[in-house]
């Protein structure tokens, strides 16, 4: 299946402000999906793909580097990845 990547307006706008390194990682992430599909992206070890919790439970995230992640939704029926945000990873303190 050929996957299509849709970026939110926020991602299009904010990606212009990101450091070149983050943009490079994001472009590489998108290229993996285009070339290898969702399965290829999920098989990449360094991305640390995970389902989100709480109010974002319908979304997933992958790490672009140690600090930034891409947040997205998957529509398997349509073969689409909807990129919602690229943001610094928020770490919670564990008590």
Provide the number of structural domains found in the chain.
1
For residue 10, pLDDT beyond 90: yes
Q: What's residue 85's pLDDT?
A: 93
Residue 94, in any domain of the structure:
no
CATH code of the domain containing 56: 3.30.2310.20
What is the helix (H) or strand (E) element at residue 50, kind and residue range? strand 50-51
| In contact, 19 and 63? CB cutoff 8 Å | no
d(CA 5, CA 8) in angstroms, rounded, equals: 10
Domain that holds residue 74: 4-88
For residue 94, pLDDT beyond 50: no
Residue with tokens 């299946």: 1
Q: What is the pTM of this model?
A: 0.80
Residue 13, in any domain of the structure:
yes
pLDDT one-digit tens code per residue, 55-76? 666 788 888 888 899 999 989 8
For residue 81, pLDDT beyond 80: yes
Residue 18: φ, ψ to 5°: -80, 155
Residue 40, in any domain of the structure:
yes
Residue 47, in any domain of the structure:
yes
Closest CA to 83 of 69, 72, 95, 91: 72
């Amino acid at each position: 299946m050929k996957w299509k990547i849709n970026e939110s307006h926020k991602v299009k706008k904010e990606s212009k402000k990101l450091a070149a390194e983050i943009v490079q990682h994001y472009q590489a992430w998108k290229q993996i999906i285009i070339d290898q599909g969702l399965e290829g992206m999920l098989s990449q070890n360094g991305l640390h793909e995970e389902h989100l919790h709480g109010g974002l439970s319908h979304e997933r995230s992958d790490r672009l580097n140690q600090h930034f992640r891409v947040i997205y939704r998957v529509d398997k029926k349509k073969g689409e990845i909807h990129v919602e945000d690229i943001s610094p990873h928020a770490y919670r303190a564990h008590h």
